[in-house]
Structure formats: C-alpha cells, structure tokens
Amino acid sequence: MAETLDDILTGDSELPLGDDLRRTIGAWLDHLMSERGQAEATRTAYERDLRQFLSFLKSHNGHPPCLGDLARLDARTLRAFLAQRRRGGAVSRSLARSLSALRAFFRWMEREDVVRNGAVMQIGLPKVPHSVPKPLTVEAADDVTSLPHEIEDWIVARDRAVMLLLYGAGLRISEALGLTLRTAPINGREIMVIRGKGGKERLVPSLAIVSGAIETYVRLCPLVIEPNGPLFLGARGGPLSPRLIQLAMERLRHDLGLPDTATPHALRHSFATHLLSAGADLRQIQELLGHASLSTTQVYTEVDRERLLSVYDAAHPRAGRSG
C-alpha cells in the first residue's frame, strides 16, 4: 500500500522528514480542512503531490528534507522534479495540479512567516490541452440509469441510484456518496443541500425517478443504514468506494456497447448538456452544478454547438454539397 503523508507525519514511513517540516506540513493540512474547508478529495490530491515532491527532494539532496531545504529551493530543482514526473508518464494536467499544490503550500508558509521562497512562482504552469466534455446521448444515458423491472438485487439498485444522482441531479460522485438518510431526497424531501468543492453549499432539486431509485435501494439493502452515516454502503458495510461505481460503469459500457468516454463523470456532463439542449439557462445550470465561475459552465455551450452542427449537417438538404 502506498504511503501517505499521515504515515510521514506519524513517523511510520520510509521517507523521513526533519521535525520542523513534519510539524509544518501537519499544520498546513489542518488549515486546509478546517479554515479553508477543502474537500477530502482535494486534501488527498495535495497530500499525494507533496509526498511525490518530498520523495524527489530526498533523493535529489541525499538527506531527509527539512525547512531549510525548502528555503533554499531553486527553480532548477523544481524543473528537475517536473521533468522526472514527465519521464514517469505524468501528463500536463497532473503536472499542473502538482505545481498548484506546491504553490498553495509555499504561499501558506509565507503567510505564516515560516519560509519565504518565490522560486515555485517562477515556474509557469504546464499548458493543459483544452478538452470538451463528452456527454452520453439521451438514449445512452437512459439505458445506463434505467432500473430493471422487478429488481431484487440491492447492489444493482444501489449502483443505478448513484448513477441517477449523477445524471438526474448533476452531482459529482463524491457528493452523491456523501449523502445520508437524513440528507437524501426521500420521505417527501424534494431538495438536497449539497456541500460541494471548497465547502460551498447549493440547493439541488430531485426528480421523482431519482428519489424512487434511492428508496428502492434503501428498501432492498440488507445492511443497517445509520441516519447520519453514509447512505450508500459497500457489500461488507462501510462507505461505498467510488471505484465500485466506476467498475459498474465499465460493465455497462461493455453490455451496452458504449465508448470508453462513458464514465460516471460523463453522466454529470450529460446532465448539463441535455439541460442546455432543452433550453435551460446557463446560469441555472451553473448553480445546479455548483461551479464557482460561469466560464466553467460555458464549456457546455461548445458541446451543444458541436451537436447542433452535426444535426444540421445530417439533416439540411444542402449539406455536403459544394457550389
């Protein structure tokens, strides 16, 4: 099992750190969770990125990293770290996230008057290729989220309920798996209070079909679902892993002949794209998705434009003609 920064901070790690750096990292992680309200997924990603950098720095310097090493860090060493990750197969998006994590750490240390070093700010973020979300068709999304008639398998009911939350409510998978019996849209509740990225809350309405799928899962589930515990459970109890939903989607891709781009997150893309195609206002979609900026939501206008052009080319009597 891969080591985490928690292993390092408790000393149970093959990567030793100077005591000063260990205490500083612990304080930063506490800051992320308490003061900034960072999502657990963000904290985990920052942990991973910082751990990779510290491993590189130990090998590069030949001794356990300490605060003095961070104070003396130069742009050349940072570029060597990114180059090593690139040689290891990391793509630009991963490198950009790693550098963003380091920037956040160094900015915090400067604010706390722990270490002042602007070298990390001298490195430009790798250019991330512009990518357009790849939603499913309406028909494919319906096939993925439809429950078999007279369903009795609680695992299937569970997986489809989660997928309906992604497609029917536009939730992130972490948001869907963060629901409890008391926050789920069941027992007459039609609105969910969702805590998204950065701890920001938003109100999301639930369709009757989504609520019905969740109620079916709850009825069939043989395990005890605690009122304030996770709504969606694994086969042995405990919180459901996002990986199991990804595997369920892989099986559906095979069974339904869908492309590799048909992922759980593509269901959230499909929610936004299909609403836009049906005439929903872009700002309404922004609020439902929990995007901080409208520019993030505007990418779906490009998806919809591509769809309209393909329909136009296929249907217009002059399409394909020249002159």
- Which of 22, 97, 268, 274 is catalytic? The answer is 268
How many C-beta atoms surround the C-beta of residue 115 within 10 A? Answer: 20
Residue 197 annotated to the active site: yes
- Which of 23, 36, 86, 265 is catalytic? The answer is 265
| C-alpha–C-alpha distance, residues 49 and 51, integer Å | 5
Residue 265 annotated to the active site: yes
- Which of 85, 97, 158, 172 is catalytic? The answer is 172
Residue 172 annotated to the active site: yes
CA distances from 96 to 99, 123, 127, 280 (A): 5, 10, 8, 33
Burial class (CB in 10 A: 0-12, 13-18, 19+), 148: exposed
| C-alpha–C-alpha distance, residues 140 and 222, integer Å | 30
Contact 29, 5 (CB under 8 A): yes
Residue 268 annotated to the active site: yes
Tokens for 97? 């996230």
| C-alpha–C-alpha distance, residues 17 and 22, integer Å | 6
- Which of 43, 197, 202, 253 is catalytic? The answer is 197
Q: Nearest to residue 192, comparing CAs of 178, 203, 182?
A: 203
Q: Nearest to residue 303, comparing CAs of 277, 268, 267, 323?
A: 277
For the annotated catalytic residues, the residue numbers are 172, 197, 265, 268, 291, 300
